[in-house]
Structure formats: structure tokens, C-alpha cells
Amino acid sequence: MLAAGRGNVLVSRLIHRAHGEVGWFLYAPACALVEADRVRPGTAEHLAALPGVTILDLDLPAALAVAREETWAAAHTRYAARPTADRPEGAIVATTEPKRWDGEPVRVLDLGP
């Protein structure tokens, strides 16, 4: 999320594809959005305004998963990436810090340079 505000070309391409192509979705877990906005104020409002980005609410199952973790952003992201009926393989975590996800049960897309 922070990389979007820093002009990361790969993030811009993902946002563009999610806006313009059928079947492409970008999800922003609310807890991760809050933490990104704390680091870079205005990030949440900017991303929430983009038509290709879907904000994932902290519903009860997500809240229960997040409550057990130390960092809410990572926990909500991990929860959002889990397999569901709509996404049997789960979602992919797009990140500029792929090593942060080592050992986690998620697929990662490295957006680093």
C-alpha cells in the first residue's frame, strides 16, 4: 500500500489492471490500510478512492483471527489471503517486502525493485 504512494511502477500496473480487466481484483484489508495510513497519512483515503481496489472489512471471522495476532495488518492480510469458495487457491499477497512472509501460508508477489 505504501509503495503505491511512492510511485512503484509494478503497483501502478496492478492497480491499472484491476480497474480495467475483468477477473482482476485488488483487495485492501482494512487493518493493513490503517497501518499504512499511520506511516503515510492520506494512503487510506487515496486507495479507498481507486475504483479497482476493494476494501476488506474487519468482519467477525476476521476480527477473531486478528485478535490472536500481534500485528493486525499482517494478520488481516494473512486472513484475507486464505483460500475461500470464491478463491480456492487463496489470494496473492503483493508486497515490496517478500521476506516478511517467509514461512507464512500465503503466496507472494514480489513488487520490489
Is the per-residue pLDDT at 34 higher than 90? Answer: yes
The model's pTM: 0.85
Mean pLDDT, rounded, for 2-28: 89
pLDDT of residue 6: 85
pLDDT of residue 98: 95
b or e along 30-69 (b: 16 or more beta carbons within 10 Å of the residue's beta carbon)?
bbbbebbbeeeeebbeebeeeebbeebebeeebeebbeee
| Tens-place pLDDT, residues 41-85 | 999 999 999 988 999 999 998 898 888 887 899 999 999 999 999
Amino acid at 101: W
